[in-house]
Amino acid sequence: MCGIVGYIGKRDAYPIIIKGLQRLEYRGYDSAGVALYNDNEIHLCKTKGKVSDLKEKAKTDISTEGKLGIGHTRWATHGVPNDVNSHPHYSNSGDLVIIHNGIIENYESIKKELKNRGYTFKSDTDTEVLVNLIEDVQKNEDVKLGKAVQIALNQTVGAYAIAVFSRKKPKEIIVARLGSPLAIGVGEDEYFIASDASPFIEYTSNAIYLEDGEMAVVRTHKPLKILKIKDDSLVAPYIQELQLNLEQIEKGGYEHFMLKEIFEQPQAIKDTFRGRMLEKEGMIKMAGMDEHMNKFLNAKRIVIVACGTSWHAGLVAEYIFEELVRLPVEVEYASEFRYRNPVLEKDDVVIAISQSGETADTMAAMKLAKENGAFVFGVCNVVGSSISREADAGAYTHAGPEIGVASTKAFTTQITVLTLIALKMAYEKGKISKSDFHMHLQELDRIPEKVEKALKYNDHIEKVADKFKDAPNFLYLGRGFNFPVALEGALKLKEISYIHAEGYPAAEMKHGPIALIDEQMPVLVIATRKGHYEKIISNIQEIKSRKGKIIAVVTEGDEQVKDLADYVIEVPETMDSMSPLLTTIPLQLLSYHIAVLLGKNVDQPRNLAKAVTVE
């Protein structure tokens, strides 16, 4: 996700900003930029690429002096990564500059109105719309910059952390946050602004973390002012003393990126809904799908191509599509699909799923599908990635950068997007009633909160991990919607702990794997109440009578499985079709803790790469 840095005070702003941006590199980004004030002018430099590219460019393009400035690393959401879409963005007059982390959902309607009033736009970003809205408010209402920012933000829907300053009043930086983080470092006659404390930890250990819905006027000639965006009311600054070291801050206090990303899932799933699931209106809005609705409505079949964890998300989607849309679905390993002679019809919708958007096999499979006349829809996380560009249309997962090599939040957000697609198709095809559709939307809306609850069992899961860390093999069993989750759980364990693990549909066990079971074999069984519960209990009994060790993932309050299993891990109750979003959480945590206890390199397991761009 984007990174924000700002400085106002007695020191040169540029080196502080550049170093700060480098500290935020871990967040993942595709471009960088800086705007400084000196000599009555704003000096702005930005580029696609790394902070080191920005430094090179700034050497020749701008004066890097000045005691006030803002800087940004961009993770593209609106508009591909390029120089023009990079931040900061000027307003039309050139008087204001802004940096922004987040998404302004209603930017298109604001842009239309501003265009009618004569504003022009250089970039495809929602951010350039926001800075011009602020300028427009300031012009029409003749108010100070802070007030203009407040009025403008009250007209927006979405999420943001912003920093903006004006050439006309270069003594203050206005910052605001809603849904995206923003910290203010408090020094002596100087302030630092950043997405987290890592850019300023070496200068001050005093920080104010803005709360959602707050903004601040950051200035050195008068006291810092914090107020509520909604109604202007003043908020007393609460200064915290930071105890963290740099390394910890970059990982947000977590020991590993993987753990951080597991814990980010409630927010990541919310970000995936954002602006799409209009629960009150009873609608799902997805631009990429809306523009090609006839393709989805006329589809005779859905073919999903993907690799690894993304393939598992595709398998979950198969169950969801078949249940809700009543269409045949085939889920293909992209690497197999591309080398077969697959039968494809022009009425097939092919969905390519990829976190990185760069997986070579998935890319080749989608090209093959296109050559055969199929309509290809991409589900990617990385904006502007090759697969997202190659697809006829698509939807981003908006999970934010996933740095740990083992996919976690990418998986749950992929399932979320695929659920939205299936629900929209089912409703528009008349396969589910309005009340059923609403019920699904309401439950999906509750999922982030339930994921949060599932994460609360982390300490208990760590203890279970300790019991089984030395097992050389593991079996993972699940049925129905949770069979792919069993596969995913086994993959997570294999890739980060190097323990051999296999996932199976629970009923298949008796056709072979049951021969493996003895007192040494841990078997993780997903046994939630709504998914073939009685059948799963029989499977558990089969394991128990062969002395296998059972770790069961159960619905909160379950008593029956508790009596049979050696260890149980609870997840909140939900609809069967949404249970993978919850049951996957303990499996991620279990493999994480086992790998940590074994001293493995969790974030960068041996032999693996985050984007597999080779065959």
Among 199, 252, 308, 489, binds ligand F6R (CB under 6 A): 308
Q: Is 603 in the site for ligand F6R (CB under 6 A)?
A: no
Q: Is 79 in the site for ligand F6R (CB under 6 A)?
A: no
Per DSSP, 179 falls in state: B
Q: Is 267 in the site for ligand F6R (CB under 6 A)?
A: no
- Give the nearest distance from C-beta 412 to ligand F6R in angstroms: 12
User: Facing residues of 568 across strands?
Assistant: 552
In angstroms, rounded to a whole number, what is the distance separating the alpha carbons of residues 146 and 604? Answer: 44
Query: Is the alpha carbon torsion for 239, 243, 249, 252 positive or negative?
Result: negative
Q: Is 419 in the site for ligand F6R (CB under 6 A)?
A: no
Place of tokens 């206090």: 253
Total residues interacting with ligand F6R, rule: CB under 6 A? 15
DSSP SS3 for 308 = helix
Q: Which is nearer to ligand F6R, 1 or 305 (CB)?
A: 305
In which region does residue 253 sit, left (phi positive, over 0), alpha (psi from -120 to 50) or beta (all else)?
left
Q: Which stretch binds ligand F6R (CB under 6 A): 27-35, 239-247, 258-266, 306-314?
A: 306-314
Among 77, 309, 528, 591, binds ligand F6R (CB under 6 A): 309
DSSP SS3 for 329 = strand
Catalytic residue among 260, 295, 494, 610: 610
Among 335, 397, 407, 539, binds ligand F6R (CB under 6 A): 407
Q: Which is nearer to ligand F6R, 362 or 584 (CB)?
A: 362
Q: Which is nearer to ligand F6R, 23 or 312 (CB)?
A: 312
Q: Which stretch binds ligand F6R (CB under 6 A): 83-91, 190-198, 302-310, 423-431?
A: 302-310
Q: Is 310 in the site for ligand F6R (CB under 6 A)?
A: yes
In angstroms, rounded to a whole number, what is the distance separating the alpha carbons of residues 35 and 18? Answer: 11
Which x/- pattern, by CB under 6 A, does the window 354-373 give for ligand F6R?
xxx--x--x-----------
- Give the nearest distance from C-beta 542 to ligand F6R in angstroms: 30
The token pair at 541 is 């009994």
**Contact criterion met (CB below 8 Å) for 587 and 476:** yes
Catalytic residue among 2, 45, 307, 380: 2
Which x/- pattern, by CB under 6 A, does the window 493-512 give for ligand F6R?
--x-----------------
Here the contacts of 557-566 (C-beta below 8 Å, separation 24 or greater) are 558/527, 558/529, 561/527, 561/537, 564/537, 564/540, 565/525, 565/527, 565/540
Letter for the amino acid at 268? A
Per DSSP, 473 falls in state: E
Closest CA to 352 of 398, 317, 402: 317
Q: Which is nearer to ligand F6R, 406 or 477 (CB)?
A: 406
Q: Among this protein's residues, is 45 annotated catalytic?
A: no
CB atoms within 10 A of CB 390: 17
Q: Among this protein's residues, is 610 annotated catalytic?
A: yes
Q: Is 550 in the site for ligand F6R (CB under 6 A)?
A: no
Residue nearest to ligand F6R (CB): 308
Q: 3-state SS string over 47-67?
A: EECCHHHHHHHHHHHCCCCCC
Q: Which is nearer to ligand F6R, 312 or 440 (CB)?
A: 312
Q: Is 386 in the site for ligand F6R (CB under 6 A)?
A: no
User: Measured between alpha carbons, how far is residue 591 from residues 193, 460, 476 in Å?
Assistant: 37, 13, 12
Binding to ligand F6R, residues 475-494 (CB under 6 A): 491
Q: Report the catalytic residues.
A: 2, 610
Footprint of ligand F6R on this chain (CB under 6 A)? Answer: 307-310, 354-356, 359, 362, 406-407, 491, 495, 611-612
